[in-house]
């Protein structure tokens, strides 16, 4: 791995609800965990036999939200002079490679992340890069999708000067993507190397579980996110059984992106 790997987690020191730790151990990917002070003891015990666990990044406070945790990690990496870093959600379960025959096979987390690192270093002004969701990959035949949302498993560049919206408890990653795109940075979504993850709303523990359980308040948060970028965002009702969310006009960010290193 060229760039360091960090997992942000809260209240889920259980294999059932935080499968990323088992996945990284299986594929021999070293990682550090970003934790609130109240979670350190339980995670230290949970991860004590995981040889790929290389330490804890301790947040200054408890219960400040996911945007605070993501921004803390961004500041931490900037201060250390880290050019790019991987930020993984703890609900990521596995990685896949999409084959030419429209099938997929499970692949190593290490291979998937390393291949995306190479792509990120090959094109100009890539601020965020990562794998597509396995369930969405077959709707598009491209191997790389530029300037769309990258979530849950993100290779993040630290020198863009763009930060997270700290008052958001929902959609902070969407707004982070949009801020970069509005400033002329690019995003890269691999449609060849894919990820799968647990459905957050069905996970009864973790930092966002209460928010997803309160649907009325959750919908208010969705509309607040839309109000930040109304030109690009609209309300997406979705089908029965799924919480509503946002729909984004990613096509408005289509532009030519130059390959700067064809040899990587």
Domain count for the chain, please give it.
1
Nearest CA among 58, 68, 66 for reference residue 38: 58
pLDDT at 200: 62
Whole-number pLDDT of residue 45: 97
Rounded Cα distance between 95 and 88, Å, is 12
Q: What is the pLDDT of residue 166?
A: 94
pLDDT of res. 262: 72
Residue 167 lies in a domain: yes
CA 179 to chain centre: 16
193 found inside a domain: yes
What's the CATH number where 11 sits? 3.90.550.10
249 burial type by CB count under 10 A (0-12 exposed, 13-18 middle, 19+ buried) = exposed
> What's the confidence (pLDDT) of residue 213?
66
In a domain, 208, yes or no: yes
**Residue 202: its pLDDT value, please?**
52
pLDDT score for 214: 72
> 159: domain range?
5-253
Residue 96: inside a domain: yes
Other residues' Cβ atoms within 10 Å of the Cβ of residue 128: 26
Confirm whether 28 is domain-assigned: yes
- The answer to the question of residue 54 being in a domain is yes
Three-state SS across the chain? CCCCEEEECCCCCCCCCCCHHHHHHHCCCCEEEEECHHHHHHHHHHCCCCCCEEEEEECCCCCCCHHHHHHHHHHHHHHCCCCEEEEEECCEEEEEEECCCCCEEEECHHHHHHHHHHHHHHECCEEEEEEEECCCHHHCCCCEEECCCCCCEEEEECCCCCCCCCCCCCCHHHHHHHHHHHCCCEEEEEEEEEEEECCHHHCCCCCCHHHHHCHHHHHHHHHHHHHHCCCCEEEECCCCCCCCEEEECHHHHCCCCCECCCCC
Per-residue confidence (pLDDT) for residue 261, from 0 to 100: 83
Q: Is residue 71 part of a domain?
A: yes
**Per-residue pLDDT, 21:** 97
Nearest to 257 by CA among 162, 193, 184, 179: 184
The low-confidence residues of the chain, meaning pLDDT below 50, are: none
In a domain, 260, yes or no: no
Chain position carrying tokens 């931490």: 76
Of the candidates 178, 192, 177, 202, the one whose C-alpha atom is nearest the C-alpha of residue 87 is: 177
């Amino acid at each position: 791995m060229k760039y360091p790997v960090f997992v942000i987690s809260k209240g889920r020191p259980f294999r059932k609800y935080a499968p990323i730790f088992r996945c990284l151990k299986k594929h021999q990917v070293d990682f550090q965990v970003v934790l609130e002070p109240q979670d350190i003891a339980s995670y230290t015990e949970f991860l004590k036999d995981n040889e790929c666990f290389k330490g804890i990044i301790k947040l200054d406070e408890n219960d400040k939200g996911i945007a605070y945790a993501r921004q803390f990690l961004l500041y931490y990496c900037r201060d250390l002079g880290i050019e790019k870093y991987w930020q993984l959600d703890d609900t990521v379960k596995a990685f896949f490679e999409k084959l030419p025959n429209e099938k997929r096979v499970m692949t190593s987390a290490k291979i998937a992340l390393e291949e995306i690192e190479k792509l990120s270093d090959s094109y100009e002004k890539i601020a965020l890069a990562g794998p597509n969701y396995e369930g969405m990959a077959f709707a598009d035949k491209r191997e790389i999708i530029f300037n769309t949302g990258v979530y849950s498993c993100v290779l993040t560049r630290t020198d863009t000067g763009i930060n997270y919206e700290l008052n958001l408890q929902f959609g902070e990653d969407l707004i982070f993507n949009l801020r970069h795109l509005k400033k002329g940075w690019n995003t890269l979504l691999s449609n060849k190397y894919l990820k799968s993850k647990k459905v957050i709303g069905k996970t009864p523990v973790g930092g966002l579980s209460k928010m997803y359980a309160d649907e009325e308040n959750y919908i208010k948060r969705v509309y607040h996110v839309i109000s930040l970028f109304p030109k690009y965002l609209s309300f997406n009702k979705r089908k029965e059984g799924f919480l509503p969310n946002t729909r984004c006009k990613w096509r408005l960010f289509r532009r030519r992106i130059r390959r700067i290193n064809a040899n990587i």
